[in-house]
Structure 1
Amino acid sequence: MTMDRRTILKNLGVAGAVGALAGCASVQEDNSSDSSGDDTTDGSDGSDSSDESEESDPSGTGTVWYSLSEAEKERRESTIEEFVEETGYDVNNSDISDMQKKTTSAIPAGEGPHTFEWAHDWVGDYTQREFVVDQSDQVEVDLDQFTEAAADAVQFDGKLVGLPHDSETVALVYNTDIVDEAPETVSDMVSVMEEHHDPDNDQYGLGYPFNDPYFLSPWLQAFDGYLFDVEADDQLGVAKEETIRGAEFAVENFAPYMPNDPKYEPQASAFAEGNAAFAINGPWYLSTLNDNDINYEVAKLPTPEGGDPTPYTGITMWYFATGMEDGGDDAQAAREFIEWYVTNEDLMLQNAEDQGAIPVLTELVEGDDLPDSVQGFSAAVQQGVPMPSDPKMNEVWDPVKNALTKLFNGDAEPEPAMNQAAEEIRSNWD
């Protein structure tokens, strides 16, 4: 099973966010009754212009799926309303609680969307399984306007299977009511965490989802280790000495200063409720902090002695699902929505302000209009490496997650835990 970060976020229940709900939040309801003829002008004013208007108005309804936290969902719905008002196209938009489960069942059955939003790590798997299609001959967007990493992420085997709109990674977030400035080294960070860690009084040095390889990737890969590298002689690096060293480093330097449950919800809640000095989290987290009126700043990850933090980075994109193949009015409506969304600079800047989104439009990335918090995440992106999109990576996430959980709970030492994870991954590959 691939890493399902968005699904985790939808169900996290962090303070300030209502439990996420699956379902439809449509401009045109998914189960709406037949409305044929609703767009017909009766011509009672005697004007001959109505027929011309009907012929020139866009037709078609694009089906759009996404999976967002409650804090993000309202903004998305208003964005879609804006598109509909500006263009005249219709959109059926649904918020999906488990995007992987839904897409892998609905798309093969011919019941999927025209497009869905997710990080780029599904590109290889979904291309090979023919869940997504090449639209390089249909789109009218020049990939040169995106960062090189973003343009590369939406292509696989020469096929353009989506368009990018944001990048993401994890960075250091610190409470400015507790911490004066961002630490430059992990050693400096540990000194601050020691000062403020008081679990008996519900105060912690750090809130950090420790059981997720995506979140722990900065340290697992900090000392020349890696989880998976399709270009390496040994593609699987989970049990390499350098990767194990990174796991040991994380256990020694971070685990002692965290709440005693490594999962996302309790870790994210500690900082979101003002009870932790630091958090390590992604840009999606900022909307929760803003809702909770937490005073914070974002900075790149501190440096470990003898290494460099190397987090996984992701490109959030709109995939071209197989529903785009018909080439009809509905597919055109979805394609117009995607192209409008990913090239809308005003929208990208607003998302950066409201939600901490990191644009991938080169003009915005290289400009100085982004808020400070997003600049901090942008600096963290520069520290990182893209998540592998090769289908073999799907078998890596869960075994490493299980190993990290054991390490956090003190149920195993790093070397045997990571060796066991590697054995399980290789067995699944076979």
Structure 2
Amino acid sequence: MPTNRRTVLKQIGGASAVAALAGCIGVQQQGSGGSTQSGDNRSGSSGNTSGTGTTSGSAGPSGSAKVWYSLPKPEIPLRKSAIEAFNAQSEHTISGADISDMQKKTTSALPAGQGAKTFEWAHDWVGDYFQRGFVVDQSDKLDVSLDTFTSAAAGAVQFEGNVVGLPHSAETVTLIYNTDMVDEAPKTVADMVSAMKEHHDPSNGTYGLSYPFDPYYTSAWLQAFGGYYFDPEKDPMLGINRKKAVRGLEFALENFKPYMPTDPKYEPQAAAFAAGNAAFAFNGPWYLATLNEKGVNYEVTTLPKPEGGDPNPYTGITMWYFTKGMKKDNAATEAARRFIEWYVTNEDHIMKLAEEQGAIPVLSSLVGSDELPKQVKPFSQTVKQGTPMPTHPKMNKVWPTMKTALIKAFNGNASPKAALDQAAKTIHSNWE
């Protein structure tokens, strides 16, 4: 996934007040060597019914560990509250740090076994980071069964049978609309175009659409007509310049570009809708905290259907990775592992993420729950329409080159076919 998917959000809006979790997040006691079971079992051996989650207890000494994450400012208070809640009920101590460029930080620190014991990111780095030795298997150390999560989430955190992290939510990009401008969600792209035309008036600072034009966000359309970016099971593996993918890019440029701000980068695109100046936005659940903080009146809906195709966005699983530093079986590693197990299984916290930030739970006990907030349902439905990002190590060479190609095509510096042809040549060269 493009490295700026989350980090650029920090520039959109300031911190928002989020209720502290310390008083509302409970833990489910669990004996060592057991596993958290899927299903709605909230009692546990202690009889505590305030929420599920493995304990942080262990027979060994207490430890301290640092964790890294990269969040937009409105999401940071909830993260800090979660860490405080864990520390309050644990003999271990966790300290968190918000990282502006997670890829740069992890690729420089982790090879030397330095930095945080764990970091949070989407699952697309699983294969690449495992092969490079940045993350490690912890399957024989866990007190949480992968059956606790959806099959998609459980599969996302594994590579060649190695469990290199634990998942806590799913994500993708879907359609959001400003209810002060738009009365109802469009069912088709044609319906959406009609509404965008009505509200697009750049001379007065209003736009039909807010849409960061990068590979993750545009995947829904490049893959809508049978195209694909990368698939190790297909021949050729790289499909970005195949006819159906080119058609998808042409479709996106024809139907969406005319109604967007002229700068395709994330910041100006996201800012337009967050300021209440755009009718629609294509964005992910991480964007909702910003919209809530800004007071935008909005609804989340599924992606509109293009004529002759079906939107097929890339989807991600957000997870805590087990870094190289966790190979050392010491108190700090134990602290990090207990924090991760607690974080990903605590139903009260997972529900808070859903309510405050639109995060899609992957805990089997919460999937499909009637208690989930309304904005989660359309994101969840869009996830079902999509395709999980590839974890194959070669995929990491696709993202940056695709980003360059899309910007060229958007700015008119190359035709969609020419831009994607050049990108394919560059990617093949980088693979070699």
Assess same fold via TM > 0.5. yes
Q: Which has the larger Rg?
A: 1
How far off is 1:9 after superposition?
A: 2.5
Gaps of 5+ in 2: 16-57
TM-score, normalised to structure 2's length? 0.88
RMSD of aligned residue pairs (Cα, Å): 1.7
Which of 422, 426, 429 in structure 2 is aligned with 1:424? 426
Gaps of 5+ in 1: 19-54
Which of 267, 270, 291 in structure 1 is aligned with 2:269? 267
Which of 101, 116, 121 in structure 2 is aligned with 1:113? 116
How far off is 1:154 after superposition?
A: 0.2
How far off is 1:312 after superposition?
A: 0.4
1:60 maps to 2:63: yes
**Structure 1 pair 64/242, CA: closer, same or farther in 2 (3 Å)?**
same
The amino acid that maps onto 1:207 is S
**In 1, are the aligned partners of 2:127 and 2:159 still within 8 Å (CA)?**
yes
Output the CA distance in 2 between the equivalents of 1:381 and 1:82.
30
Output the CA distance in 2 between the equivalents of 1:62 and 1:169.
30
Superposition map of 1:82-161 within 5 A: 82-161=85-164
Paired position in structure 1 for 2:405: 403
**In 1, are the aligned partners of 2:153 and 2:362 still within 8 Å (CA)?**
yes
Paired position in structure 2 for 1:218: 220
Output the CA distance in 2 between the equivalents of 1:207 and 1:6.
15
Paired position in structure 2 for 1:190: 193
How far off is 1:88 after superposition?
A: 2.4
How far off is 1:142 after superposition?
A: 1.2
SS at match of 1:316: strand
Deviations 1:337-356 (CA, angstroms, capped at 9, x unpaired): 00000000110101111111
How far off is 1:307 after superposition?
A: 0.3
Q: Which runs of 4+ in 1 moved over 4 A?
A: 55-58
Which of 300, 315, 330 in structure 1 is aligned with 2:302? 300
TM-score, normalised to structure 1's length? 0.89
Paired position in structure 2 for 1:354: 356
**In 2, are the aligned partners of 1:57 and 1:88 still within 8 Å (CA)?**
no
Deviates more, 1:163-172 or 1:397-406: 397-406
Deviations 1:92-126 (CA, angstroms, capped at 9, x unpaired): 22111111111111112221221110100000001
Deviations 1:106-162 (CA, angstroms, capped at 9, x unpaired): 112221221110100000001001111110000011111211110000000110000
Output the CA distance in 2 between the equivalents of 1:58 and 1:382.
43
**In 1, are the aligned partners of 2:63 and 2:91 still within 8 Å (CA)?**
no
Deviations 1:48-92 (CA, angstroms, capped at 9, x unpaired): xxxxxxx98961112211111111111111110000001221112
How far off is 1:325 after superposition?
A: 1.1
The amino acid that maps onto 2:153 is A
1:338 maps to 2:340: yes
Paired position in structure 1 for 2:44: none
Paired position in structure 2 for 1:35: none
Deviations 1:321-342 (CA, angstroms, capped at 9, x unpaired): 0111111111111110000000
Paired position in structure 2 for 1:167: 170
**In 2, are the aligned partners of 1:6 and 1:68 still within 8 Å (CA)?**
no
1:4 maps to 2:7: no
Superposition map of 1:4-23 within 5 A: 4-6=3-5, 8-11=7-10, 13-14=11-12, 16-17=13-14
Output the CA distance in 1 between the equivalents of 2:344 and 2:7.
25
Q: Percent identity at matched positions?
A: 62
SS at match of 2:319: strand
**In 2, are the aligned partners of 1:112 and 1:321 still within 8 Å (CA)?**
no
Deviations 1:202-252 (CA, angstroms, capped at 9, x unpaired): 010000001x10000000000000010111111000110000000000000
Deviations 1:289-338 (CA, angstroms, capped at 9, x unpaired): 00011111101100000000000000000000011111111111111000
**Structure 1 pair 382/17, CA: closer, same or farther in 2 (3 Å)?**
same
Output the CA distance in 2 between the equivalents of 1:57 and 1:230.
43
Paired position in structure 1 for 2:80: 77
